[in-house]
């Protein structure tokens, strides 16, 4: 049976901290729904109503485009361990970029690695837990280092060029909000 909460408590924060991956879902008014798996120990509880993750430069930037348009976002974490549970966080999301005033305070909570593109924040409106009885058990082995290594090999200058070429629009042609940040960098 589903249980709803209005804010994170210690038990929910502990559950979040124990998960090796999570999923982010966003959708534009028109176009493709995006569902992205995330890992690399990049998720942090900011306060009882805010959660955020360090977003790395990647092949696309769908989440940022959808948040720029309408802010709707859901995060889901589920236990693959002995105690089943699913946690969904619903709310309004937004991207925080290096040029933004709040970047420094937020960034201090994360490991900043080459390729860090933005911090994605979710202002939580509703929280739901459910049983997770149908979620299979898996054993966590390790976080992949491939993206970190690739980003370090490219370096910040090449990554900035990559973002200008590949991350300014969604696959549906919607702006990500990164274009304004690129202008500020240049």
> Is 35 contained in some domain?
yes
> Residue 186 pLDDT > 80, yes or no?
no
| β-strands 34-38, 43-47 pairing | unpaired
Range 114-125 average pLDDT: 96
pLDDT band at 154 (very low <50, low <70, confident <90, very high): very high
Lowest-confidence region among 7-11, 93-97, 99-103, 180-184: 180-184
pLDDT at 177 (0 to 100): 86
> Is 168 contained in some domain?
yes
In contact, 93 and 63? CB cutoff 8 Å: yes
pLDDT at 59 (0 to 100): 85
pLDDT at 25 (0 to 100): 98
> Is 151 contained in some domain?
yes
Query: Looking at the 3D structure of the chain, how many domains does it have?
Result: 1
Query: At 125, phi and psi to the nearest 5?
Result: -105, -30
Beta bridge partners of 25: 35, 74
CATH code at 58? 2.30.110.10
* 33-77 tens-digit pLDDT: 999 999 999 999 999 999 999 999 988 899 999 999 999 999 999
> Is 138 contained in some domain?
no
Residue environment code for 81-98, b if the CB has 16+ CB neighbours within 10 A, otherwise e = eeebbbbbbbbebbbbbe
The model carries a pTM of: 0.92
Instruction: Give the Cβ contact number of residue 118 at 10 Å.
Output: 28
* 134-145 tens-digit pLDDT: 999 999 899 999
* 156-168 tens-digit pLDDT: 999 989 998 999 9
Q: Which domain, by its residues, includes 127?
A: 3-133+143-185
> Is 53 contained in some domain?
yes
């Amino acid at each position: 049976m589903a249980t709803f909460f209005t804010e994170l408590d210690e038990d929910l924060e502990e559950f979040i901290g124990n998960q090796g991956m999570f999923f982010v879902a966003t959708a534009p008014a028109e176009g493709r729904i995006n569902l992205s798996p995330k890992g690399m120990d990049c998720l942090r509880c900011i306060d009882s109503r805010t959660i955020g993750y360090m977003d790395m430069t990647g092949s696309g930037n769908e989440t940022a485009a959808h948040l720029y348009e309408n802010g709707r976002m859901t995060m889901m974490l589920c236990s693959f361990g002995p105690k089943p549970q699913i946690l969904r966080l619903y709310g309004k999301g937004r991207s925080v970029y290096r040029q933004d005033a709040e970047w420094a305070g937020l960034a201090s909570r994360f490991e900043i690695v080459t390729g860090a593109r933005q911090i994605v924040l979710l202002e939580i409106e509703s929280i739901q837990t459910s049983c997770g009885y149908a979620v299979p058990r898996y054993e966590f082995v390790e976080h992949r280092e491939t993206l970190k290594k690739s980003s370090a090999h490219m370096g910040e200058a090449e990554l900035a060029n990559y973002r200008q070429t590949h991350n300014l629009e969604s696959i549906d042609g919607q702006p990500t909000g990164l274009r304004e940040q690129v202008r500020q960098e240049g």
